[in-house]
Amino acid sequence: MTRLLPLPILLPLIAAALSILTGRSRRVQRIIALTTLTANVAASVAILVAVDTEGTKAIQAGGWPAPIGISLVADRLSALLLVVATSMLLAVLVYAIGQPGAERNHVGFQSVYLLLAAGVSAAFLTGDLFNLFVAIEMMLTASYVLITLGGRLDQVRAGMTYVVISLLASTLFMATLAYVYAATGTMNMADLSQKVPELPVGTRTALAVMMLVVFGIKAALVPLHFWLPDAYPTAPSPVTAIFAGLLTKVGIYAIVRTQTLLFDPGDLPLGLLLVVAAVTMVVGVVGAIAQHDVRRILSFSIVGQIGYMIVGVGLFDLAGMTAVILSLVHHIVVKTALFLTGGLIEHHGGSTRLERLGGMMRTAPVIAVLFLVPALALSGVPPLSGFPAKFTMMAASVTRDEWWILAVMIVVSVLTLISMMKIWVNVFWAPATEGDGVPPSRDKWSAGPALMVVPTALLVTATIMIGVFAGPISGMAERAAADLLDTNSYVDAVVNSEGVG
């Protein structure tokens, strides 16, 4: 099974090269991309099944032993997120093919999208910090292109902000790697988990904070979030959907992985983390309520939901980590579904500005349903996917007697529902503005092209299924959380792993 670990990285890279070579045929490009991402989903599921039944798996690229070689590691957390991520990448690609816009108008879309897929897979599977940096840079390189597809002035302006902030974060990341290597002589995370505890307390805390800042920028933690609400709304709908679903979650994954594997709770500013989480939740949801555009409301709500995940890191116990993992799975699916629905709203109504929309409950009831379900799930309404994650997080805060963070989470959940209902009322319930809205000849049961509607409907269905099967999924999340807090299985798997040439 360990031979499968490189596939989710190698297949998209090979497919990206083939896509460039076949750039004259859009049909061939699509076949290559769809086949590759389908194979990635299958390989990811096989990895998850094997890891859940047999334990953490690792392999050394090039045949070099750890910690010298390039380690690829899959535990329950990385394998679970890999399955969810590859599924989202496939669904969004189908949506992009069906939507008139970015994918059809730009010959390089498929190759760049596949490069993004390779970077996401590499981030979840890499076992050393330097290759985590490489994986994130692969994602960012692809995202620089995708975020400016179309060439509009607002896209270029937002893209420049995104590029500048990303480059600053990458520079800080490189500086952090230099400090880590100077202090320990290694980049392998399994090896670091043995060497970091031997460092002085001040050095350990400094390294932990530096990593929190670096990955906090990627995850859009307040006050490092300001780039996100301006950058995401300007990109094409499928690009925004995959960014919203995956890019910030890679930052959260990196925080969870490094803080649990490399540091003890005593090395971390856990109280400060809870404060940052609370501020992030409040700023995100208040910012969402203040907006008047569907995409900007959804973009600010990303920031608010990131705060929930950081609460679990701040609690740093089994229940808290379980809630983080549940939140990651839920948020990837729900946010992707909401932004895809936002694309359907724009396709049907011609705009995402609230004042230019209205009456779509009558003219597009299918889109109304597709929006309402993930909107309620994002707010934590039972029995949808957001409820198990938020209930587990709230229960964990009660167990730790963190009543104040519980109160913040409850208030933010209510405000999140208000922000979603702001979209609902203005887009679907209120009467259409004079001169705007949908042409009377349009079939109200036609929500858009089938290739746009079907993947959106499947993701909306997934939000329901996550809630229905909350028990097994919570069990998987709890086992993954236990692996995070007991690092022996991860370290043993890397130390005893085989090489592949």
Mean predicted confidence (pLDDT) in 93-103: 85
What average pLDDT does the chain have?
A: 90
pLDDT value of position 343: 92
Concatenating the DSSP letter of every residue in 100-135 gives SSHHHH-TTHHHHHHHHHHHHHHHHHB-BHHHHHHH
Nearest alpha-carbon partner for 415 in 305, 294, 338, 292: 305
Cβ atoms of 26 and 40 within 8 Å: the answer is no
**pLDDT at 441 exceeding the cut of 60:** no
Q: Which amino acid is at 115?
A: L
pLDDT band at 113 (very low <50, low <70, confident <90, very high): very high
What is the enclosing helix (H) or strand (E) of 327? helix 318-349
Helices (H) and strands (E) in the chain, counts: 22, 3
Return the residue matching tokens 């995940």: 309
Q: Can you tell me the distance from the alpha carbon of 327 to that of 262, in angstroms, rounded to the nearest whole number?
A: 22
**pLDDT at 402 exceeding the cut of 60:** yes
Cβ atoms of 312 and 259 within 8 Å: the answer is no
Q: Can you tell me the distance from the alpha carbon of 161 to that of 177, in angstroms, rounded to the nearest whole number?
A: 24
pLDDT value of position 122: 96
pLDDT band at 54 (very low <50, low <70, confident <90, very high): very high
Mean predicted confidence (pLDDT) in 274-291: 95
Provide the sign of the torsion angle of the four alpha carbons 205, 401, 304, 458, taken in this order. Answer: positive
Cβ atoms of 13 and 62 within 8 Å: the answer is no
pLDDT band at 160 (very low <50, low <70, confident <90, very high): confident
Domains of the chain by residue range: 279-490
* Distance separating the N- and C-terminal Cα atoms of the chain: 16
Mean predicted confidence (pLDDT) in 10-33: 92
Nearest alpha-carbon partner for 60 in 19, 3, 12, 14: 3
**pLDDT at 112 exceeding the cut of 90:** yes
**pLDDT at 132 exceeding the cut of 80:** yes
Burial group, residue 23, by CB count within 10 angstroms (0-12, 13-18, 19+): middle
Percent of the chain topping pLDDT 90:
67
What is the enclosing helix (H) or strand (E) of 427? none
Q: Check residue 223 and report its DSSP letter.
A: T
pLDDT value of position 437: 46
Q: How confident is the model over 170-202, as pLDDT tens digits?
A: 999 999 999 999 999 999 999 999 999 999 999
pLDDT band at 413 (very low <50, low <70, confident <90, very high): very high
Mean predicted confidence (pLDDT) in 125-131: 94
**pLDDT at 501 exceeding the cut of 60:** no
Q: Can you tell me the distance from the alpha carbon of 427 to that of 204, in angstroms, rounded to the nearest whole number?
A: 50
What is the enclosing helix (H) or strand (E) of 55? none
Nearest alpha-carbon partner for 316 in 306, 305, 324: 324
**pLDDT at 438 exceeding the cut of 60:** no
How would you label 103-135 residue by residue, b for 16+ Cβ within 10 Å and e otherwise?
Answer: beebebbbbbbbbbbbbbbbbbbbbbbbbbbbb
Q: How confident is the model over 349-383, as pLDDT tens digits?
A: 888 899 888 888 888 899 999 999 999 999 989 88
Give alpha helix (H) positions in 263-317: 270-290, 294-315
Quote the pTM value: 0.93
Q: Can you tell me the distance from the alpha carbon of 367 to that of 257, in angstroms, rounded to the nearest whole number?
A: 37
pLDDT value of position 433: 65
